[in-house]
């Protein structure tokens, strides 16, 4: 365990970096240096050899059982774990609270008459973190684990429990993922908030594990979808060993290239500079003098550091061991180096304890990969710009304090914990924070500006604690297993324009906070849209609808002001839990209630995770639904496109309106056809448009290579209605009216039935290869140029029999080989003499194909 983290007080006030007195800074540097050059020691208790504990054991600091070591706890032992919530920085720990973390083996060997007890002297839930199993093995026999955040949390490894009680914790037992081996017999989880939590396919084997009398739920399970995230990975070039370094000090400017092996600590003092050129591989031997499992070799930079790789010739920093493991080496430490910007570009950093570690430094990290480290990055009192970098497979991604940070355009994917920020001035923008086992992003104090990030599929999405200022805008926070956004002890926050959707339990959880929450879409969360313990701000101008139990739930005794929100269709009060349900709760003041949705803009340029659009959504540019992603557009939704905007779908879209609640795709402003661009489907198999009205587009639907259905839709006042290549498409019972072209086929395969195609310039235009079309039982009439026009490049005949063409001779309304020899024929005979009655009702909502008037006398066939 590194002492490095203890040069600061955890009670430091909000302040700005680099304004400290010089003497403090020098002291900090010296202390840092002393600690860095010492082998790992420990602020917590590191169990470095097999050990047995018995009797009364006060636990005042974290306990770490590293790999290869067994801690045995004898029967009758009582571990009294001191409550604390600190800002500890050591990457080997996972919780801000006092924890027992096991990567080796823990055996608690209680007996029925003399159990082993883990508890807090305070006897309050969540007083300590609990027993965390992170790849180790834990056997509990006749134990009681109480008063913890999570009695036992299994992140990975093996856990067995017999004759035990988990009680008075927030969570009794939590298991992450299907890889952990968990066996429980004859045990109970009682009087916790949640008894048993199984996440992402976790399973428990055994018998007689009873979860009962828990305050919120006895059992909860949640699973996230794993999306296709193309994580970057750099490959090393084959290199001959060019140099081996032991403990050394570099003077002047040293340039590393080729393959470098480091067997010690390389120190780069002030005024010296280490430069690493593209294609270099730097490998560190593991040296672990204190047997805590953490390597000690690394770089210690007090001068300048430039590692400037390129996309084609990246620089790699990694373990030199044959079996490479996390924490084989220490870190790239940069200390007191803020005159020039240190550069780390196109680098891959792996197998470290802390990949990058800065104090008082100015550093840019660009287009790099930081993976499979205990912690990817940690810094304080620094100016750091991180962009275009992929973080994955780390135990934690980022811990930062008292710094100015720009964190943009990064991918944070499948780490144990995500980003943890304490008292920084930070801008996070355009990041993708997804599928991290614990929190995605945690912000404590400071001035955060969190914009246009996608935070999806983590256990907890975004946690904000004690922040006095902050802006959280245009983020998508979705599919997190428990909650999306949590505010605790915040003030003056602006939470605006976010989509907070489909989180497992609660969309927005608020405790003792003040914020302005406006223009958000908060929907489809498992239990509550917004859950409030105590709140003193305003909730106004939001769409809060379709949440599992309640759109708004008040658990505290204070009233909540939530005027001018849209709560979805149906009875509003039934979606609110407040004093009307329980007289000791606060009252929700909802008036005035909006009966139409507020316009909320889709915040990002992509739809990266399954989404449900409801209410009024504004699309400001071209939004792309990514491959593998499903977009559902719910009944009564309006999608309003800004000028030139559009939607491109590479996943699937299912826009399913209802007879009396169509989905409407229209222009945000303007009435003319072509005001907005198009909905384009490209390899979007399985998509469906049903009961939709699409108007004022350039092309309402533009479809390529997609198995796709359109039914009961209206395409009105567009340049073109439906344009497609390939297929197969089924287009039925829809209305095409007032477009330049109703339907355009290019090498298309489609069954077009029961539609009304009228009032367009050309009803159907067959550009090329029309032999794949079957056009049946449609009313195709009164199109000003042609009902069907065959294009100059189409040399195939088109099957358009059994349609009604109006009261005129069909051939007069068709342009084909009869008009221009060499192009295909339209086979329209036999044809109907009367409109098809089913087609009369074609279309969506109030737009029906009823313009047929009295043109037919009966559906006679010739």
Partner 1 sequence: MKYGIGPAGRIYAAALIVAVLCAGPASEYRAVYAEDLSVLKGSITDVRGRPVEGAMVFVYVNSDVRRSAEFISAPADAQGRYRMTVPSGTYWVVARLKKTEGFGPLMPGDKHSGEPREVELLVGSDREADFVVADLRDAISMKKEVSDSSVRVSGTVTDERGSPVSGAYVIVNRSEEVSGIPDFLSAWVDDQGRFTLYVPAGRYFMGYATAFPPEDTYRITGEQVIQDDISDLRITVHNRNNSLDEADHIILK
Q: Which is nearer to partner 1, 379 or 668 (CB)?
A: 379
Which three-class secondary structure state does DSSP give residue 838? helix
Return the closest-CA partner of residue 613 out of 673, 679, 554. 679
Among 72, 471, 834, 841, contact with partner 1 (rule: CB under 8 A): 471
Pick the piece of the chain touching partner 1 (CB under 8 A) from 332-340, 435-443, 614-622, 710-718. Answer: 332-340
Give yes or no for a contact between 525 and 612, defined as CB atoms under 8 angstroms apart: no
What is the closest distance, in whole angstroms, from the C-beta atom of residue 469 to partner 1 in the complex? 5
The minimum distance between CB 432 and partner 1, in angstroms, equals 18
Q: How far is the CB of 312 from partner 1 (least distance, A)?
A: 11
Closest Cα partner for 331 from 424, 399, 389? 399
Residue 10 binding partner 1, by CB under 8 A: no
Pick the closer one to partner 1 by CB: 26 or 41: 26
∠ CA 487-488-490, rounded to 5°:
80
**Residue 13 binds partner 1 (CB under 8 A):** yes
Minimal distance in Å, beta carbon 14 to partner 1?
5
Looking at 45, 84, 160, 514, which residue binds partner 1 (CB under 8 A)? Answer: 514
Contact 133, 156 (CB under 8 A): yes
Give residues with Cβ within 8 angstroms of 87, minimum separation 6: 10, 96, 401, 422, 444
Transcribe 103-170 into DSSP letters.
SSEEEEE--SSS-EEEE-TT--TTSB-EEEEEEEEEEEESEEEESBSEEEEEEEEEEEEES-EEESSS
17 binds partner 1 (CB under 8 A): yes
Distances (CA, A) of 133 to 84, 180, 214, 436, 460: 20, 9, 23, 17, 19
Candidates 116-124, 208-216, 491-499, 625-633; binding stretch for partner 1 (CB under 8 A): 491-499
Evaluate whether 52 touches 417 at the Cβ level (below 8 Å): no
In residues, how long is the chain? 862
Determine, following the binding rule CB under 8 A, whether residue 494 of this chain makes contact with partner 1. yes
Cβ-based nearer residue to partner 1, 471 or 622: 471
Q: Residue 767: which of 737, 740, 751, 788 has the closest Cα?
A: 788
Which residue among 6, 8, 18, 183 contacts partner 1 (CB under 8 A)?
18
Rounded to an integer, what distance in angstroms lies between the CA atom of residue 208 and that of residue 490?
43
CA separation (Å) from 416 to 297, 484, 498, 785?
24, 17, 25, 63
764 binding partner 1? (CB under 8 A): no
Shortest distance, CB of residue 316 to partner 1, whole angstroms?
16
Beta strand 843-844 pairing with 847-848 = antiparallel
User: Using CB under 8 A as the criterion, what x/- string covers residues 246-285 for binding partner 1?
Assistant: -------x-x-----------------x-x-xx-------
Which lies closer to partner 1 via its Cβ, residue 340 or residue 593?
340
Closest contact distance (angstroms) between CB of 13 and partner 1 is 3
339-358 footprint of partner 1 as x/- string (CB under 8 A): xxx-x-x-------------
Q: What angle do CA 173, 178, 183 make, to 5 degrees?
A: 50
489 near partner 1 (CB under 8 A): yes
Per-residue DSSP letter, 234 = -
Which residues within the stretch 409-448 sit at the binding site for partner 1 (CB under 8 A)?
425, 427, 447
Smallest distance, partner 1 to C-beta of residue 283, A: 21
Please tell me the distance from the alpha carbon of residue 404 to that of residue 452, in angstroms, as a whole number.
Answer: 19
The helix (run of H) or strand (run of E) holding residue 662 is none
Q: How many CB atoms lie within 10 A of CB 820?
A: 11
Q: Measured on CA atoms in the order 74, 77, 82, 85, is the torsion positive or negative?
A: positive
Residue environment code for 510-525, b if the CB has 16+ CB neighbours within 10 A, otherwise e? bbbbbbebbbbbbbbb
CA proximity to 206, closest of 181, 172, 189: 181
Q: Which is nearer to partner 1, 204 or 449 (CB)?
A: 449
Stretch 55-94 residues interacting with partner 1 (CB under 8 A): none
- Pick the closer one to partner 1 by CB: 182 or 363: 363
Q: Is the Cβ of residue 423 or residue 723 nearer to partner 1 in the bound state?
A: 423
Buried b (16+ CB within 10 A) or exposed e, 491-505: bebbbbbbbbbbbbb
Answer for which of 84, 239, 492, 850 binds partner 1 (CB under 8 A) is 492
24 binds partner 1 (CB under 8 A): no
| Helix, strand or coil, per DSSP, at residue 511 | strand
d(CA 511, CA 662) in angstroms, rounded, equals: 38
CA contacts within 13 A on the Cβ side of 124: 6
Of 79-87, 91-99, 462-470, 773-781, the segment contacting partner 1 by CB under 8 A is 462-470
- Before 830, cis peptide (omega within 30)? yes
Q: Interface with partner 1 by CB under 8 A: which range of 62-70, 512-520, 589-597, 775-783?
A: 512-520
Stretch of 7-15, 390-398, 633-641, 769-777 contacting partner 1, by CB under 8 A: 7-15
Using the contact rule CB under 8 A, the part of the chain among 26-34, 64-72, 511-519, 640-648 near partner 1 is 511-519
In the bound state with partner 1, the residue whose beta carbon lies nearer, of 118 and 305, is: 305
Angle at 541 between CA 540 and CA 546, to 5 degrees: 100
CA 207, chain centre distance (Å): 35
DSSP state, residue 661: B
Site map 353..392 versus partner 1, x via CB under 8 A: ---------x-x-xx---------------x-x-x-----
Considering only residues 295 through 324, tell me which ones interact with partner 1, judged by CB under 8 A: 306, 308, 310
- Could you give the string, one character per residue 530-549, with x where binding to partner 1 holds by CB under 8 A and - elsewhere? ----x-xxx-----------
E-strand ranges in 367-430 read: 369-371, 375-380, 383-387, 390-392, 396-401, 404-408, 411-413, 417-422, 425-429
| Shorter beta-carbon distance to partner 1: residue 431 or 575 | 431
> To the nearest whole angstrom, how small is the minimum distance from the Cβ of residue 520 to partner 1?
14
Residue 277 or 587 with smaller CB distance to partner 1? 277
Strands 205-212 and 181-190: parallel
Tell me, residue by residue from 566 to 605, as one string, x for binding to partner 1 by CB under 8 A and - for no binding: ----------------------------------------
Query: Phi, psi (5° rounding) for residue 244?
Result: -120, 130
Provide the b/e sequence for 461-487 (b: ≥16 CB within 10 Å): bbbbbbbebbbbbbbbbbbbbbbbbbb
Q: Does 237 bind partner 1 (CB under 8 A)?
A: no
Tokens found for residue 155: 């992140």
Nearest to partner 1 of 373, 513 (CB atom): 513
If phi > 0 it is left, if psi is from -120 to 50 it is alpha, else beta; for residue 25 that is alpha
Binding-site member from 491, 557, 658, 796 for partner 1 (CB under 8 A):
491
What number of chain residues touch partner 1 (CB under 8 A)? 55
Q: How far is the CB of 532 from partner 1 (least distance, A)?
A: 13
Span interacting with partner 1, options 148-156, 485-493, 797-805, 850-858, rule CB under 8 A: 485-493
> Could you tell me the smallest distance in angstroms from the CB atom of residue 787 to partner 1?
48
Give the shortest CB-11-to-partner 1 separation in angstroms.
7
Q: Does residue 19 touch partner 1 according to CB under 8 A? A: yes
Q: Which C-beta is closer to partner 1: that of 14 or that of 793?
A: 14
The binding site for partner 1 (CB under 8 A) comprises: 11-19, 253, 255, 273, 275, 277-278, 306, 308, 310, 338-341, 343, 345, 362, 364, 366-367, 383, 385, 387, 404, 425, 427, 447, 449, 468-471, 489-494, 512-516, 534, 536-538
């Amino acid at each position: 365990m590194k002492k490095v983290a203890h040069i600061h007080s955890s009670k430091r006030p909000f302040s700005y970096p680099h304004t400290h007195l010089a003497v403090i800074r020098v002291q900090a540097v010296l202390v840092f240096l002393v600690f860095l050059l010492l082998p790992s020691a420990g602020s917590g208790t590191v169990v470095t050899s097999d050990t047995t504990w018995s009797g009364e054991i006060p636990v005042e600091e974290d306990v770490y059982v590293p790999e290869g070591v067994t801690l045995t706890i004898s029967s009758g032992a009582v571990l009294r774990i001191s409550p604390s919530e600190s800002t500890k920085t050591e990457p080997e720990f996972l919780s801000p609270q006092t924890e027992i973390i096991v990567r080796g083996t823990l055996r608690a060997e209680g007996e029925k008459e003399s159990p082993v007890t883990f508890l807090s002297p305070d006897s309050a839930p969540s007083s300590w973190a609990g027993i965390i199993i992170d790849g180790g093995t834990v056997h509990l026999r006749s134990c009681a684990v109480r008063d913890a955040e999570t009695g036992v949390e299994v992140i990975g490894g093996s856990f067995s429990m017999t004759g035990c009680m988990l009680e008075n914790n927030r969570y009794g037992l939590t298991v992450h993922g299907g890889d952990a081996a968990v066996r429980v017999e004859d045990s109970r989880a009682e009087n916790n908030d949640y008894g048993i939590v199984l996440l992402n396919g976790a399973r428990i084997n055994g018998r007689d594990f009873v979860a009962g009398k828990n305050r919120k739920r006895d059992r909860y399970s949640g699973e996230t979808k794993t999306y296709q995230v193309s994580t970057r990975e750099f490959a090393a070039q084959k290199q001959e060993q060019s140099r081996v370094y032991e403990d050394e000090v570099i003077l002047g400017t040293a340039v590393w290239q080729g393959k470098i092996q480091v067997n010690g600590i390389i120190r780069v003092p002030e005024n010296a500079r280490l430069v690493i050129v593209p294609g270099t591989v730097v490998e560190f031997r593991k040296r672990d003098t204190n047997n805590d499992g953490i390597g000690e070799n690394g770089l210690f930079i007090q001068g300048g550091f430039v590692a400037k790789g390129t996309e084609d010739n990246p620089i790699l920093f990694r373990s030199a061991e044959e079996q490479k493991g996390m924490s084989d080496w220490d870190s790239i430490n940069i200390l007191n180096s803020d005159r020039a910007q240190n550069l780390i570009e196109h680098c891959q950093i792996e197998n470290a304890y802390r990949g990058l570690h800065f104090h008082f430094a100015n550093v840019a990290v660009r287009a790099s990969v930081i993976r499979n480290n205990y912690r990817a990055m940690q810094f304080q009192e620094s100016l750091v710009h991180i962009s275009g970098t992929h973080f994955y497979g780390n135990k934690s991604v980022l811990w930062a304090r008292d710094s100015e940070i720009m964190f943009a355009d990064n991918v944070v994917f499948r780490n144990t914990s995500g980003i943890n920020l304490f008292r920084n001035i930070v801008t996070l923008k355009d990041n993708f924070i997804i599928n991290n086992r614990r929190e995605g992003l945690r912000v404590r104090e400071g001035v955060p500006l969190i914009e246009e990030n996608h935070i999806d599929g983590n256990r907890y999405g975004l946690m904000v604690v004690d922040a006095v200022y902050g802006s959280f805008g245009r983020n998508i926070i979705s599919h997190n297993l428990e909650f999306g956004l949590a505010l605790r002890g915040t003030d003056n926050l602006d939470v605006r324009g976010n989509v907070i959707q489909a989180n497992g339990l609660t969309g927005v959880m608020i405790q003792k906070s003040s914020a302005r929450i406006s223009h958000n879409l908060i929907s489809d969360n498992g239990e509550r849209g917004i859950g409030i313990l105590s709140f003193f701000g305003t909730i106004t101008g939001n769409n809060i609808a379709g949440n599992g139990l309640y759109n708004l739930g008040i658990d505290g005794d204070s009233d909540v002001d939530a005027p001018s929100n849209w709560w979805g269709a149906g009875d509003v009060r039934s979606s609110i839990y407040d004093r009307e349900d329980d007289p000791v709760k606060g009252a929700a003041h909802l008036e005035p209630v909006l009966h139409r949705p507020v316009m909320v803009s889709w915040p990002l340029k992509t739809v990266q995770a399954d989404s449900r659009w409801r209410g009024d959504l504004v699309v400001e540019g071209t939004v792309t639904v990514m491959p593998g992603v499903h977009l559902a557009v719910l009944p009564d939704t309006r999608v309003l496109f800004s000028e030139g905007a559009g939607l491109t779908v590479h996943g699937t879209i299912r826009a399913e309106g209802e007879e009396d609640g169509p989905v409407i795709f229209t222009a945000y402003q303007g009435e003319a056809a072509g005001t907005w661009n198009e909905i384009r489907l490209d390899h979007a198999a399985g998509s469906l448009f049903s009961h939709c009205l699409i108007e004022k587009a350039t092309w309402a639907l533009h479809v390529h290579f997609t198995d796709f259905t359109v039914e009961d839709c209206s395409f009105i006042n567009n340049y073109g209605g439906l344009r497609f290549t390939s297929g197969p498409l089924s287009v039925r019972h829809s209305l095409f009216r007032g477009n330049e072209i109703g339907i355009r086929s290019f090498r298309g395969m489609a069954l077009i039935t029961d539609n009304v195609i009228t009032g367009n310039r050309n009803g159907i235009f067959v550009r090329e290869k029309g032999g794949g079309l079957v056009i049946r039982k449609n009313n195709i009439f009164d199109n000003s140029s042609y009902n069907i026009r065959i294009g100059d490049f189409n040399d195939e005949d088109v099957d358009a029999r059994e349609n009604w063409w109006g009261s005129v001779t069909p051939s007069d309304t068709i342009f084909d080989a009869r008009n221009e020899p060499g192009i295909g024929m339209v086979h329209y005979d036999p044809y109907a003499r009367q409109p098809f009655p089913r087609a009369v009702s074609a279309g969506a909502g109030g737009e029906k194909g009823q313009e047929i008037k009295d043109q037919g006398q009966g559906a006679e066939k010739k």
